[in-house]
Amino acid sequence: MSKGKVYLIGAGPGDVGLITVKGMEAIRKAEVILYDRLANPKLLEFAVPGCELIYCGKLPHRHILRQEAITDLLVSNALTGKTVIRLKGGDPGVFGRVGEEAEALAQHGIEFEIVPGISSGIAAPLYAGIPVTHRKYGESFAVVTAHDKSLDGKPLLDWPGLASGVDTIAFYMGIANLPFICENLIKNGKPSDTAVILIQWGTFGRQKTLQGTLATIAVQATAVSFSNPAITLVGNIVSLREKISWFEKKPLFGRQILLARTGTNQSELAKELSDQGADVIEFPKWNKVPAPIDMHILKNLDAYCRILFTSPESITDFFTVLFEAGIDIRSLKAELFGASVKSAKALNEKGFLADTAEKMRPDGRLLLVGDNHLQEQQLAYASSKYGRFDLYITSHKKIDEQFLPIFERMLEEAAVDTVIFPSSLSVKILMQEGINANFIPRELLDRASIVCMGKQTLQAAAEHEIKPKAVLANPTKAALLEHLINSKWG
């Protein structure tokens, strides 16, 4: 058996968009991914279905996998011929122990590549409005570990050199040793009024900062229970923050959203919310397989006067089936409709003059197109709404159970303040797979701001005794963004 290949990849500091193109390409072809706590779990959604995901995360005093075990997994999986990804937060060469892992791979004759990433020591300050160098404030910059392998964990550093020879210093994971760091810098010549900023979860929407000086920051951090993961930036360059802070000015910065998910495609809504500064957790993650082709229906498409698509994905899947079956779309004589504004728009983008289901006339033979959730959960509603119809199932979806522990960790580290239900089905799914399965606490729905997109979604929420804060009469992405930007939470 030929050996596989290992990619040692820097995932960047948190913002999914900050991973390199090369890193993303490797994720898309991986068979096994070993990932750290600080690598954004959303990156794992770009892996192919069936890719094995192994959590290597480390918390203070609670290691999931020791370094030796991680290295052994890299070697053993590569020796079976698999493409293996080691996904590390930030840059793998900056306190990422990539040298140890690469050395072990080389010893076993395993091919590997090291893919650099954006280091959090540079990115987190930039997202806080602080470049780490500036001709006026700082022409030298150092990255320093804030703990080491000693019994007390206090780093043995060149304190005189750091205090007098470096303008700006980024300490990684330095909260526990903050008093020790400040004391030694002051003792070795750094002015006690030197500016300091702590940046927690840098580049995430939940990014938090705390600003002070070498004389005050340790007490300030204790008072507010500031914790890792964090970068401690020391230097007068911190003063630039007042002029060029940009990320924290985004309209949804700080908002942490749980978006109920019914589709397998990448969500445009989730991306737009993230672009506006929010942290977005999409639940759940789905796997999809094509349904058997129903040639009886396909050969008689000209018999239908109306075709109603229940989701954008069902549209793509349906026309893919037509092409693969050798059926010309010009054989369609029916008027086409989408069950939502989003579905109607997807039809329009394919060149069809389509409208929403509300505009559909009640006469003429109807074909309903959707996935297996339509078959299982919505037929009774469809019968009462549209009368008799034929049904075409495009695909079968099921929860990707491998992602459940990933979501659990995401929810533990987030403080969700907003829950968005885009559709009535999304309410049922979140209740069934999240709340009723004791995976998501019911209290979350009681304390968060609930937003229902449309009247049908409101009705589904009421059936589960969910009380929304807002119901959008116009269930569009633009209307949702306007509501969230203009509303308060917390």
Segments in the chain below pLDDT 50: 490
Go through the domains of the chain in sequence order and give each one's CATH number: 5-118 (3.40.1010.10), 122-247 (3.30.950.10), 256-285+400-486 (3.40.50.10090), 288-398 (3.40.50.10090)
58 is a catalytic site residue: yes
Work out the number of other CB atoms within 10 angstroms of the CB of residue 227: 14
173 is a catalytic site residue: yes
Question: Which pLDDT score, from 0 to 100, does residue 63 have?
Answer: 61
Q: Which residues contact 86 (CB under 8 A, 6 or more apart)?
A: 6, 7, 8, 9, 34, 70, 74, 92, 98, 101
Q: How far apart are CA 91 and CA 172, in angstroms?
A: 12
Phi, psi of 30 (to 5 degrees): -75, 150
Question: Annotated catalytic residue: which of 58, 208, 250, 469?
Answer: 58
Question: Which pLDDT score, from 0 to 100, does residue 377 have?
Answer: 55
379-390 pLDDT tens trace? 776 777 778 899
Beta bridge partner(s), residue 83:
5
Helix 341-349 and helix 312-324, axial crossing angle in degrees, nearest 10? 40
| pLDDT, mean over the chain | 92
Question: Which pLDDT score, from 0 to 100, does residue 266 have?
Answer: 85
Question: Which pLDDT score, from 0 to 100, does residue 39 have?
Answer: 95
Global confidence as pTM: 0.89
Question: Annotated catalytic residue: which of 5, 15, 88, 173?
Answer: 173
